Amino acid sequence: MHPIVESLRDTLIVSCQAYPGEPMRHPETMAQIAASVQRGGASAVRAQGLEDIRAVKDAVTIPVIGIWKDGTEGVFITPTLNHCLAVIDAGADILALDGTLRPRPDGRTLAETITAVRERFDGPIMADCDSLDAALAAADLGIDIIGTTLAGYTPARPKTSGPDLELLAELADRLPDTAALIAEGRVHTPSHAASCRDTGAHAVVVGTAITHPATITGWFREALTES
């Protein structure tokens, strides 16, 4: 296992992202949030977009998982080889990309993409998966980290209200030792995070519940308006 991946064992990773048009969508803001979550004990941060990756890298000493989201339909998380290479050039310590079985916009398979990435980058790669089949295929390619990031966001799995613990349990059982299993997606409470760990996750990524105040505010507002 790559030493960076080993360092993430039993830890909390925090995703620091703001979405297009949102008030916090600014690299300096994301860098400040990243520095704050490092203070809180995050073992790594996940950052989106080349400017954010650069700014976050300057603001923290923990590893940065870099992604570049492009579009909203189909494959949009670091969707092509060019996106991967740009994320690496921006300084990401870990490259994350779509790890589903769907066709990719540049026509390359995931296998071709990984082969080309490996010519330039020997750091860990994380596949954002949506299903058992996608995860096993990604692990077969030697991808270092399998994330449940896209479970519930494609037709492959229903969208659970919290983390997809059923998928996580299957993956904990079936993935080879070469691939670290990371729980990501709808981990909304400390108890969800502990359940992911107990189900066999190597590490847990929390985004919205720590770094997205508009959504968190909505959760509290709704609780107060429920009859």
Ligand X SMILES: CC(=O)N[C@H](C=O)[C@@H](O)[C@H](O)[C@H](O)COP(=O)(O)O
Which residues make up the interface to ligand X (CB under 6 A)? 15, 17, 67, 77, 149-150, 153, 184-187, 205-209
3-state DSSP assignment of residue 146:
strand
Nearer to ligand X, 8 or 67 (CB): 67
In the bound state with ligand X, the residue whose beta carbon lies nearer, of 29 and 208, is: 208
Specify the amino acid at residue 204.
V
Give least dist CB 147 to ligand X, A.
8
Cβ atoms of residues 204 and 191 within 8 Å: no
**Comparison of 131 and 149: residue with beta carbon closer to ligand X:** 149
Residue nearest ligand X by beta-carbon distance: 207
Other C-beta atoms lying within 10 Å of the C-beta of residue 70: 15
List the structure tokens of 120.
């330039």
Q: How far apart are CA 92 and CA 175, in angstroms?
A: 25
CB of residue 99 vs ligand X: minimum separation in angstroms?
12
Nearer to ligand X, 79 or 207 (CB): 207
Residue 134 CB, nearest distance to ligand X (Å)?
Answer: 14
Handedness of CA 58, 59, 64, 69 (dihedral sign): negative
Give dist(CA 114, CA 59) in Å, integer. Answer: 29
Rounded to a whole number of angstroms, the minimum distance from the CB of residue 206 to ligand X is 5
